[in-house]
Amino acid sequence: MQSTLQNLKHYFGYESFRLQQEEIIHNLLNKKDALVIMPTGGGKSLCFQLPALEFPGLTLVISPLIALMKDQVDGLQANGIPAAFYNSSQDFETQQEILEQVSQKSIKLLYTAPESLAGLQDILKPSYISCVAVDEAHCISSWGHDFRPSYKQLGFLKKSMPEVPMIALTATADKATRVDILNQLTIPKAEVFISSFNRENIFLGVKMANKRLQQIEKFLARRPDEAGIVYCLSRKSTEKLASDLNNFGYQAEAYHAGLDHETRSQIQENFIFDKTQIVCATIAFGMGIDKSNVRWVIHYNMPKNIESYYQEIGRAGRDGLPSQGLMFHSYADVIQYRNFIDDAANQDVQYAKLDRIKQFAEAKSCRRKVLLAYFGEYLEEDCGHCDICLNPPQFMDGKIYAQKAISAVARTQQNEPIGVIIDILRGAKNQRILERNYDQLKTYGVGKDIAWRDWQHYILEMINQGVLDIAFHDANKLKVNSLSKKVLFHDYQVALTKPVDPKVEKREVLKKSKKKSLFESLRQLRMQIAREEDLPPYLVFNDASLKEMEAQRPKDLNAFLTISGVTQRKAERFAEEFLNVINQQKKRQKKSKGSTYLKTFELYQEGLSLAEICKSRGLKETTIISHLAKLYQDGKKISLLDFVSQNEIDQVSEALNEIKYEGALKPIHEAIGGQVQYGKIRLALAYLNM
């Protein structure tokens, strides 16, 4: 495995394997079939991308989403791995070019959709293909949640190339789907690798859906710059929430199936490129998003089952850094789902699934245990990283409370929903109470001393424990049952938990510093490079790599190369700029005067030529040019025309009329037919005040 480890560092920037990656790769290199079940963010791609480098021929990757392919291929190319995709979004010539590259064996990985396999007939031979990877393999099964009819035909691949190893990958755990995948791909003997579904870096929390907007505002105030997704049930609530968040000063957009295709891809792209911080979405959003720095996911409404919940929170923290999943729980959502299910097929299964997510939301013990148990995985110890572990419920004798509530329900002839019952207990004087003479009841006002939301908490617990019923089919009225009577008239005990006081509630620890951190500066540099290269920022380096740079503060290229995620190729392209920022910070800390820009400016004022400045500062020309552009923009006296000609400026200016300029240099470079160097474009832009 020596060369495999070397390739891991050289091409992917990592020192060691995660989970079962090593075994899986070993298995594949021995030409054996495999089925890999690993949670989202677990690192599935590496399991076929790394062997692809060692196989003599091509690794063909089947993937359901055209949108995802470009991202994956961009990521590979950024690491210096020759890769391409082949799909219906390309014109005939581009497709021919790719086939040509395959026959010349100049690419290692080719991504394609099942629908496009017909066009690849000529290369579907062992002489070209060394390995087939079927990504998102659950799409083949109608048991799964994203069934794609076109996946059904994939069985032919193994039949026509039996000696070529096949690896199927998915994050869907259930057994029926697993068996289905093996059968349909005709790889019954494949080795099955199942990794833990525990996403330790994601903090799990559930809150009652009271004043959600306020709660979200507080949540965001603690993490003002972090990217996240809020899932809502309805289109309308995505729009309302996005606009509320805009009013709070966050960049948020609504995303739902009612928007046209173009708008949706624009929103998705803005999110991937860190231009939009928050997306408020219906469940249609997120499939195929590889963005590794999503830091939190909020469920504005309770998801309809645990699979969806798990999949959706899984979009947070793919880089392994601390992330949050926050779910709001309300009876209104449960009721709405029940109404949906009443009209649907398969009712029993769906009710059972709804019950399981409700149990999760109402859990009184470690939530992660409840979650993983659903997938058949058992944690030995409490996780310590969920709201229940941080604030373990404190049980108390709730008999008197239960008696008061049950008696109020009985005295209203079981004709009122939870809100009215609480109003009666608290002695409210609103219209409904007075109209119906509830202020005359014996129970009126017997619970004055308990806050509204605490009553709500207690009554919901009573419902969950079965000492009160809720009639979903009758306006959600509360009803008494045989247990209620035992509480009233016999010595049936009721244990309730104390509501958590938000003022003393323990929350997950967030590290924060007031000063602009090195991480922040590195993030800015990443953003600048991403714009210039027209890449999503996380493909330059992900948050985990930046965090490590911040912690390690590498001094030179060699030290830089030891950072996780720094590949040979990326070091060649970006090391200088990143090292620069790191060193600047160090110098700033040593209180040395004069920024790197000012040093360049001093040399410029002394009349040194560009080459001389580069030499004296030991920096590359591109760096010095960007200094000059910045100095000019900051109002320093620089004669830009000494470095870029009027003719070049005119060309750039013309190009700007043709394209939509959003900060990337590449489109300009291409619009001019590659004739003007990047550095000069940068100077021309400064000259043009862009």
Size of the site for ligand ADP (CB under 6 A): 18
- Residue of 7, 10, 11, 14 that binds ligand ADP (CB under 6 A): 14
- One symbol per residue from 389 to 428: x for binding Zn ion (CB under 5 A), - otherwise; what is it? x---------------------------------------
| Residue ranges with strand state E in 121-189 | 129-134, 166-170
Residue 44: name its binding partner from ligand ADP, Zn ion, none (Cβ under 5 to 8 Å by kind): ligand ADP
Shortest distance, position 378 Cβ to Zn ion, whole Å: 13
Residues 6+ apart with CB under 8 A from 436: 412
Is 388 near ligand ADP (CB under 6 A)? no
Query: If binding is defined by CB under 6 A, does position 63 make contact with ligand ADP?
Result: no
**Measured from the CB atom, is 41 or 165 closer to ligand ADP?**
41
Tokens standing for 651? 């060309």
Site for ligand ADP in 550-609 (CB under 6 A): 564
Using CA atoms, how far apart are residues 609 and 681, in angstroms rounded to an integer? 19
Which residue from 18, 105, 236, 586 is in contact with ligand ADP, where contact means CB under 6 A?
A: 18
Least distance from ligand ADP to the Cβ atom of residue 22, Å:
9
The stretch among 37-45, 108-116, 453-461, 466-474 that binds ligand ADP (CB under 6 A) is: 37-45
456 binds, among ligand ADP, Zn ion, none (CB under 5 to 8 A by kind): none
2, 52, 331, 569, 572 from 558: Cα distances, Å: 20, 27, 57, 13, 11
Q: Least Å distance between CB 191 and ligand ADP?
A: 18
Which residue, 171 or 306, has its beta carbon nearer to ligand ADP?
171
| Binding characters for Zn ion, 204-233, by CB under 5 A (x = yes) | ------------------------------
Q: Least distance in Å: CB of 337 to ligand ADP?
A: 28
Q: Considering the complex, what minimum distance in angstroms separates the CB of residue 204 from Zn ion?
A: 7
Alpha-helical (H) ranges within 412-542 are 418-425, 431-435, 452-465, 482-489, 518-533, 537-540
Touching Zn ion, residues 343-382 (CB under 5 A): 366, 368, 382
383 binds, among Zn ion, ligand ADP, none (CB under 5 to 8 A by kind): Zn ion
β-bridge mates for residue 397, sequence order: 495
Rounded to the nearest whole angstrom, what is the least distance from the CB of residue 325 to Zn ion in the complex? Answer: 12
The distance of closest approach from Cβ of residue 298 to Zn ion in the complex, given in angstroms and rounded to an integer, is 19
Q: Provide the sign of the torsion angle of the four alpha carbons 163, 169, 174, 180, taken in this order.
A: negative
Report how far residue 550's alpha carbon sits from residue 553's, in angstroms, rounded to the nearest whole number. Answer: 5
> Is 17 near ligand ADP (CB under 6 A)?
yes
Q: Which does 389 bind (CB under 5 to 8 A by kind): Zn ion, ligand ADP, none?
A: Zn ion
Closer to ligand ADP by Cβ: residue 41 or 679: 41
Residue 383 touches Zn ion, criterion: CB under 5 A: yes
- How far is the C-alpha of 350 from the C-alpha of 304, rounded, in Å? 9
Q: Which residues contact 370 (CB under 8 A, 6 or more apart)?
A: 359, 360, 363
Q: Is 386 in the site for Zn ion (CB under 5 A)?
A: yes
Residue span binding ligand ADP (CB under 6 A) among the ranges 14-22, 275-283, 424-432, 632-640 = 14-22
Nearer to ligand ADP, 13 or 114 (CB): 13
**40 near ligand ADP, judged by CB under 6 A:** yes
Q: How far is the CB of 200 from Zn ion (least distance, A)?
A: 11
3-state secondary structure 420-447: HHHHHHCCCCCHHHHHCCHHHCCCCCCC
Q: How far is the CB of 46 from ligand ADP (least distance, A)?
A: 4
Residue 350: which of Zn ion, ligand ADP, none does it interact with, CB under 5 to 8 A by kind? none
Would you give the distance in Å from CA 273 to the centre of its chain?
A: 13
Cα–Cα dist 159/1, whole Å: 30
- Residue 437 zone, left/alpha/beta (φ > 0; ψ -120 to 50; rest): left
The listed partner (Zn ion, ligand ADP, none) that binds 36, CB under 5 to 8 Å by sort, is none
Q: Phi, psi (5° rounding) for residue 591?
A: 60, 25
Listed ranges 36-44, 106-114, 262-270, 611-619: which one lies at the site for ligand ADP (CB under 6 A): 36-44
Which of these segments, 43-51, 60-68, 173-181, 549-557, binds ligand ADP (CB under 6 A)? Answer: 43-51
Task: For the CB of residue 23, give the shortest distance to Zn ion in the complex, in Å.
Answer: 29
Other Cβ atoms less than 10 A from the Cβ of 344: the count is: 9
Judged on CB neighbours under 10 Å (0-12, 13-18, 19+), 502 is: exposed
Nearest approach in angstroms of CB 302 to Zn ion is 19
Note whether 73 and 112 are within 8 A (CB). no
636 vs 496: CA distance, rounded Å: 69
Among 20, 35, 41, 403, binds ligand ADP (CB under 6 A): 41
- Rounded to whole angstroms, the Cα distance separating 51 from 24 reads 10
Report what 17 binds from Zn ion, ligand ADP, none; CB cut-off 5-8 Å by kind: ligand ADP
CA distance 92 to 303: 43
Q: Which two tokens stand for residue 347?
A: 């009712």
Question: Cα dist. 98→106, 111, 131, 322, 446 in Å?
Answer: 10, 11, 18, 40, 78
Best CA proximity match to 169, nearest among 17, 11, 24: 24
Find out whether 325 and 316 touch, Cβ atoms under 8 Å: yes
Contact, 62 vs 114, CB < 8 A?
yes
Q: Identify any residues that bridge with 478 across adjacent strands, giving them in sequence order.
A: 470
Residue among 383, 331, 385 nearest 361 (CA) = 331
User: Residue count at the site for Zn ion (CB under 5 A)?
Assistant: 6
Site of interaction with ligand ADP (CB under 6 A): 14, 17-18, 21, 38, 40-46, 290, 292, 318-319, 542, 564
Site of interaction with Zn ion (CB under 5 A): 366, 368, 382-383, 386, 389
